[in-house]
Structure formats: structure tokens, C-alpha cells
């Protein structure tokens, strides 16, 4: 890949709304990424390999559970810092951000929110350093957008439960040490439990052949009469609001993260437009190319304001799930559009691994689908503004 010459873009001086700590965090993550990930990411994506050796470094820069309090090993940062970290990671690759958002929002968040004190002490500090990797099992082969229909279930067997079923499309699964799994009890109520690698009957086959998120490991979780100790059950949380509350946190991080991909595509296309000469002039001097760049930076600027405001609301515990849905949907959509336009601006070079754009574009095809599809988030907004449920 060409040198990582990325520079941030801040057309509306939004940096003035950030604290010095926010900017320092951004600088730290950006330089760690430029030094450790940019030089290798294209190769790992081409090989469809997960750069597992990066886990301790991600822990060191605070990318695992940024807002988890220090008493549990996290850095105890605010929600805007969490967003900035996800943005800097996804600026390089959505798969890198996926690894961190699953660990943070879908594994550490539910343990922090719903586990017993003993469970928190057992897992959170080691997840924060990257010593342990976690995954989150909600989606099933026949239940994606409608997780309420899940069939994975467990039965009471004294001091343990017996878990059966399968989860599909699970990020981090092939390497995860623990899995936060959502399953129905004998009454059909959704509960959360932690399944540990090595438990008999628990396997995590890898999903091969992805054209997207190739540097992120995806797999299945298969439970064949797995004996899970009752102490691994989250004691109090019941129903779909358990997993959906985790998704609120992850979707928030994705709204910031996808903007990172958009910024990288814009940055690459802008630089290319000044350097590439056709008909004796830089292509950036042609109106059609300027239209693309002007529209990209306009949408990026609107999206930057959206996530900054959402971060302020989230810090105040006032961000609604519906507001988060709007930001996830909008920012992934504008990132995809930016990637597609930027790729065209690079002509033939746009399809090569010399530049990051095609990789971002393919990654974003997963991001627009996971954590609630583009359509599902539209229906969430539709229901919020009309009061009518159009899901069923
Ligand atoms: P519904 O009847 O609306 O709600 C059931 C209960 O849940 C509550 N609830 C929420 N709670 C917290 N946060 C939210 N966002 C919530 N949305 C709903 C609701 O209040 C109710 O509570 P209660 O107390 O009354 O029981 O549920 P529904 O079955 O009609 O479904 C609604 C729908 C379609 C919006 C929901 O199922 C949905 O969001 N579907 C999309 C599924 C999804 O996003 N899956 C993501 C899987 S994880 C993933 O993709 C990780 S990718 C990771 C990476 O690599 O980065
Ligand atoms: P479906 O639900 O079958 O949807 C198919 C199409 O129908 C979509 O376009 C959808 O918008 C549309 N549709 C569905 N219902 C409606 C409706 N009511 N009205 C209108 N249109 C509708 N899941 C996890 O649990 N953990 C993970 O770590 C995880 N990681 C993932 C990583 C990757 C790379 C991918 C691709 C997915 C991952 N997922 C994960 C799963 C992801 O959340 C699901 O793919 C997503 O929720 C959609 O489910 P589905 O693929 O079954 O599509």
C-alpha cells in the first residue's frame, strides 16, 4: 500500500468542540495505527487473515472498553473519546474497528452492566488488556433482523445449564476466548450467559470466502449440549432489551467509525485529484471531480456534527436508541457513497491495493448490514416519528 499520508479534515472547525484530552487521544491512536497497522493491513486483508498480534497494542491504546471504569481495568474515558478511537481505527480498516467494538460494546459492556461482581473481576481486566478476546452471539442462521425468534436455548440441570443451538456471522468467533451468548430459557425468555472456549461441545468454525471485512475473523458458535455453570449466567437481565442495549453502544461506535472510512476515502481522492494529470491538468481542476469532492466533504461535515452531538447526548445519558439508529444509518450510508465516488476518482488505480478505497468500500458492505441493516434502522426511525410499527 502507498504510504499512509492521512490528515484529518475539519471543515467546520469541529475540533473547537473537543477537549485537549480528546485531541490527545486522537493523536495517540492515529500515530499507533500509522506505525503498526497501515503498513500491514492491505496484506492481511488480501490474505483474509486476522492480525491477532495487534491485540495487546489495542489494549495499550485504550481501544478495549474505553468507557469501562478504571476499577475494572478500563481507561474510564467519556463517550466522545470512545467515538474518536473507533473513528481512528476504522479510518484504517473497518475490521480493526469491528474487533475493538465487539470487545468493547458487545462483550465488556454487557459484563460491566449485567454480570455479577465476581464475573466482572474475572473477565473485564483481562479483556481490557487484550489478553482475552471476546465475541457476541445474537444472530442465528434463521434469525438475523428478527433476533426475538432465536431458537438457541438452555435447560436447567442443577448447578449448570445445558446449551444447544447455533449462532452465525459472529465477529471474532474463531479466536475468541469467551462468547457472550443470548439464548432462551425453558420459559422462552431471552437470557445472557458467558460460554468459555474449551467447554465440551462448544466449537467456533470459521466463515470463509468473505469479500468484505477480510482482516476480521468471522465464524459460527455451535453449542452441542454444552454444560455451562450457572455462575456464567447474567443474573438479572431478561428479554431482548439485554442484547439490544449492547447494540446501542456498538451502533454509536459504528456511527463514528464509518466516518473514519469516509474521511480516509475523501483524503485519498483529494490528494490524488491534485497529483493526477490528464489533458495537461490535475483532474481536481475539472468540475465533475470537484462536484464529487464538494459533495463528499459536505456529507462528511454533516455526519461529523451528528456524531459530536450524539456523543454529548450520550455523555448525558440522553441519547435515545432511535437517535443512535439514525446516526448509524446515515453515517454508514454516506461512507459507502464516499467510497464509491472516491474509487471512481482514482480510475483504474482505485481498484488496487495500492490505495485503501476498494478495501473500505467492500468493508462497508458489511457495516451497512450488521448491527441492524440500513432498512431496519429506517423502520426504527419511521416507527419513532409515526408511532406505527412497520416491522411485522
Ligand atoms: P421490540 O418489541 O421492539 O422490543 C423488545 C424489547 O426490547 C426493547 N428495545 C430496546 N432496548 C434497548 N435498546 C434498544 N435499541 C431497544 N429496542 C427495543 C423494547 O423496549 C422491548 O423491551 P420490553 O421491556 O418491552 O421487553 O422488539 P422486536 O422484536 O419488534 O425487534 C425490534 C428490532 C427489529 C428493532 C430489533 O430486533 C433489531 O434491532 N433488529 C436488528 C438486529 C441486529 O441489529 N442485530 C445485530 C447483531 S450483532 C452484530 O451485528 C454485531 S456486528 C459487530 C461488528 O463486527 O462490529
Ligand atoms: P435478514 O434479516 O435475513 O435480512 C435480509 C434483508 O431483508 C435485509 O435487506 C433486511 O433489511 C431486510 N428485512 C428484514 N426484515 C425486514 C422487515 N421487517 N422489513 C423490511 N425489510 C426487512 N451478529 C452477531 O450476533 N454478532 C456478530 O458479531 C456479528 N458480526 C457480523 C459480522 C459480519 C461480517 C456480518 C456480515 C454480520 C455480522 N452479524 C453479527 C450478523 C448481522 O447482525 C446480521 O447479518 C444482520 O442483523 C442482518 O441479518 P441477516 O443477515 O440474517 O439478514
Q: What is the pLDDT of residues 253-276, one digit of tens each?
A: 999 999 999 999 999 999 999 999
Q: Where are the domains of the chain?
A: 14-129, 134-232, 241-386
Average the pLDDT over 307-314 and give the result.
98
Is the shortest distance between the CB of 247 and ligand 1 below 6 Å?
Answer: yes
**pLDDT at position 227 over 70:** yes
Average the pLDDT over 87-103 and give the result.
98
CA dihedral 255, 260, 261, 266 (to 10 degrees): 120
Q: What is the pLDDT of residues 205-218, one digit of tens each?
A: 999 999 999 999 99
**pLDDT at position 16 over 80:** yes
CA of 120 to the centre of ligand 1 (A): 24
CA of 57 to the centre of ligand 1 (A): 32
Average pLDDT over the chain, rounded to an integer: 98
Is the shortest distance between the CB of 241 and ligand 1 below 6 Å?
Answer: yes
Residue from 370, 371, 380, 389 whose mutation best tests the ligand 2 pocket (most atoms within 8 A of CB) = 370
Residue 64 has what pLDDT?
Answer: 98
Q: What is the pLDDT of residues 170-199, one digit of tens each?
A: 999 999 999 999 999 999 999 999 999 999
Residue 17 has what pLDDT?
Answer: 98
pLDDT band at 335 (very low <50, low <70, confident <90, very high): very high
Is the shortest distance between the CB of 182 and ligand 2 below 6 Å?
Answer: no
Q: What is the pLDDT of residues 31-44, one digit of tens each?
A: 999 999 999 999 99
Residue 114 has what pLDDT?
Answer: 98
Homologous superfamily of domain range 134-232: Butyryl-CoA Dehydrogenase, subunit A, domain 2 (2.40.110.10)
Residue 3 has what pLDDT?
Answer: 84
Q: What is the pLDDT of residues 100-122, one digit of tens each?
A: 999 999 999 999 999 999 999 99
Q: Closest ligand 2 atom, CA of 172?
A: 28
Residue 141 has what pLDDT?
Answer: 98
Average the pLDDT over 60-74 and give the result.
98
Q: Answer positive or negative: Cα dihedral of 285, 288, 291, 292.
A: negative
Residue 26 has what pLDDT?
Answer: 98
CA of 169 to the centre of ligand 2 (A): 9
Residue 2 has what pLDDT?
Answer: 63
Residue 1 has what pLDDT?
Answer: 58
- Which protein residue has the closest C-alpha to ligand 1 atom 30? 391
Is the shortest distance between the CB of 213 and ligand 2 below 6 Å?
Answer: yes
Let me know if domain 241-386 sits in CATH 3.20.20.140.
no
Let me know if domain 14-129 sits in CATH 1.10.540.10.
yes
Residue 301 has what pLDDT?
Answer: 98
For the question of residue 220 being annotated catalytic, the response is no
CA of 79 to the centre of ligand 1 (A): 21
Among residues 42, 88, 220, 371, which one is catalytic?
371
- Residue 192: partners with Cβ closer than 8 Å, 6 or more residues away: 110, 114, 180, 181, 182, 233, 234, 237, 242, 243
pTM over 0.85: yes
Q: C-alpha 16: how far from its chain's center?
A: 26
Amino acid at each position: 500500500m502507498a504510504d499512509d499520508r492521512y490528515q484529518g479534515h475539519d471543515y467546520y472547525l469541529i475540533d473547537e468542540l473537543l477537549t485537549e484530552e480528546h485531541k490527545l487521544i486522537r493523536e495517540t491512536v492515529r500515530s499507533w495505527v500509522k506505525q503498526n497497522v497501515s503498513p500491514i493491513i492491505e496484506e492481511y486483508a488480501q490474505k483474509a487473515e486476522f492480525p491477532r498480534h495487534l491485540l495487546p497494542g489495542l489494549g495499550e491504546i485504550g481501544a478495549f472498553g474505553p468507557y469501562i471504569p478504571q476499577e475494572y481495568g478500563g481507561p474510564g474515558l467519556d463517550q466522545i473519546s470512545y467515538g474518536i478511537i473507533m473513528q481512528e481505527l476504522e479510518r484504517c480498516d473497518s475490521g480493526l474497528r469491528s474487533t475493538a467494538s465487539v470487545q468493547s460494546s458487545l462483550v465488556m459492556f454487557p459484563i460491566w452492566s449485567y454480570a455479577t461482581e465476581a464475573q466482572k473481576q474475572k473477565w473485564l481486566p483481562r479483556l481490557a488488556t487484550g489478553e482475552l478476546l471476546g465475541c457476541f452471539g445474537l444472530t442465528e442462521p434463521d434469525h438475523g433482523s428478527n433476533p426475538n425468534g432465536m431458537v438457541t436455548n438452555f435447560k436447567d440441570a442443577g448447578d449448570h445449564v445445558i446449551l444447544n443451538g447455533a449462532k452465525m456471522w459472529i465477529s471474532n468467533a474463531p479466536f475468541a476466548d469467551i462468547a457472550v451468548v443470548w439464548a432462551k430459557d425453558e420459559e422462552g425468555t431471552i437470557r445472557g450467559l458467558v460460554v468459555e472456549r474449551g467447554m465440551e461441545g462448544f466449537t467456533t468454525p470459521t466463515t470463509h470466502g468473505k469479500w468484505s471485512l477480510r482482516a476480521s475473523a468471522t465464524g459460527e458458535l455451535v453449542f452441542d449440549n454444552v454444560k455451562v455453570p450457572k455462575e456464567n449466567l447474567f443474573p438479572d437481565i431478561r428479554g431482548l432489551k439485554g442484547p439490544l442495549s449492547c447494540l446501542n453502544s456498538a451502533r454509536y461506535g459504528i456511527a463514528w467509525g464509518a466516518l473514519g472510512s469516509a474521511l480516509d476515502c475523501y483524503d485519498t481522492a483529494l490528494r490524488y485529484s491534485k497529483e493526477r494529470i490528464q489533458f495537461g491538468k490535475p483532474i481536481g481542476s475539472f468540475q465533475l471531480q470537484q462536484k464529487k469532492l464538494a459533495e463528499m466533504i459536505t456529507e462528511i461535515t454533516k455526519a461529523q456534527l451528528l456524531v459530536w452531538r450524539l456523543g454529548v447526548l450520550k455523555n448525558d445519558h440522553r441519547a435515545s436508541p432511535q437517535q443512535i439508529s439514525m446516526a448509524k444509518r446515515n453515517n454508514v450510508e454516506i461512507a459507502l457513497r464516499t467510497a464509491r465516488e472516491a474509487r471512481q476518482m482514482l480510475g483504474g488505480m482505485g481498484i488496487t491495493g495500492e490505495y485503501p478505497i476498494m478495501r473500505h468500500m467492500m468493508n462497508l458492505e458489511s457495516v451497512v448490514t450488521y448491527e441492524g441493516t440500513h432498512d431496519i434502522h429506517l423502520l426504527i426511525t419511521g416507527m419513532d416519528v409515526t408511532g406505527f410499527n412497520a416491522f411485522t
